[in-house]
Amino acid sequence: EVQLVESGGVVVQPGGSLRLSCAASGFNFDDYAMEWVRQAPAKGLEWVSLINYDGGSTYYTDSVKGRFTISRDNKRNSLYLQMNSLRPEDTALYYCAKDNSVGAIDYWGQGTLVTVSS
Amino acid sequence: DIVMTQSPDSLAVSLGERATISCKSSRSVLYRPNNKNYLAWYQQISGQPPKLLIYGASTRESGVPDRFSGSGSGTDFTLTISSLQAEDVAVYYCHQYYTSPRTFGQGTRVEIK
C-alpha cells in the first residue's frame, strides 16, 4: 500500500525558513517523479514543485522560484522541500504527491500545515 | 503558463441525476506524438486529500466507480457523473500535467439539490 507521510509544518515568522519532509513507502520510490502541491485555507489546489525520479530535473511555480528547493534521497525513500524567505501568502497545507508512470499524480499524503505569521 | 478554467464554480444536482463539469485550458494539452491528453480530474471530499479519478482525459483510475467518466481533447474537457450519489459531494479539480508549471482549475463544488 502506497503511503506518503509529510512532516515539518509549523508556525514560522515572515522571512523565516522551514524544511518539509515526506516519507514514502509501498512502492519503488526511485522509479517515480514526486511533487509538492499546496492548498491555502479554504482555497483551491496550487502546484508548487516537481522533481524527476533521480533528482536530475526540478521545476517550480513562479511564486516560489529562488526561495524553495525540492530534493529527494532515494536511499531514504524521502522527499524534501526547503522553504526560505517565507511570506504570509505561503501559508497552506502542503501535500506530498507521487506521479504515476504517465505523469499524473496518483497518490497524495495527508498534508502538513505551514503557517507564516508574526 | 497554461490557465485551466472550470465551469460552473458550483452546481447542485438531485440524487441519481447527471452532473457535468467543464474544463478549458488556455493552450492544448494534447501531445501529438502519442496522441495523449495530459489532463487529470481529482475529487476532494471535505477534510481529505484529493483523489485521482481520471487521467489521460478519459482513463478511469483503478477502483473509481464507472459513473465517473471523462471526455474531450486539446483544450476542452468534461467530467461527467452519470448518476449522482450522496458520497460524490465534493470539490472537483481538473489538472494539466502537459508542461511545467503544472496547473489546476479553480475547482467546482458539487452538492445535492
User: Are B20 and B40 in contact, with CB atoms under 8 Å apart?
Assistant: no
> Which of B21, B77, B97, B98 to mutate: most A Cβ within 10 Å?
B97
In degrees, rounded to 5, the angle at the alpha carbon of residue A9 between the alpha carbons of residues A17 and B46 is: 140
- The pLDDT value recorded for residue B34 is 94
- The pLDDT value recorded for residue A21 is 98
Per-residue pLDDT tens for A47-91? 999 999 999 999 999 999 999 999 999 999 999 999 999 999 999
What burial class does residue A66 get, using C-beta atoms within 10 Å of its C-beta: 0-12 exposed, 13-18 middle, 19+ buried? exposed
Per-residue pLDDT tens for B49-88? 999 999 999 999 999 999 999 999 999 999 999 999 999 9
Of A44, A59, A105, nearest to B100 by CB-CB distance is A59
Three cell numbers, residue A56: 536530475
How far away is chain B from the Cα of A68, in angstroms, using its nearest Cα?
14
What's the pLDDT band for A10 if we cut at 50, 70, 90?
Answer: very high
- The pLDDT value recorded for residue B16 is 97
Q: Cβ neighbours of residue A31 under 8 Å, at least 6 residues apart? A: A53
Give the B window 15-34 contacts with A, CB below 8 Å. Answer: none
- The pLDDT value recorded for residue A25 is 98
Quick one: which H or E segment has residue B104? strand B103-104
Q: Which residues pair with A69 in a beta bridge?
A: A82
Three cell numbers, residue B36: 495523449
Per-residue pLDDT tens for B8-51? 999 999 999 999 999 999 999 999 999 999 999 999 999 999 99
A106, B101: Cβ pair inside 8 Å? no
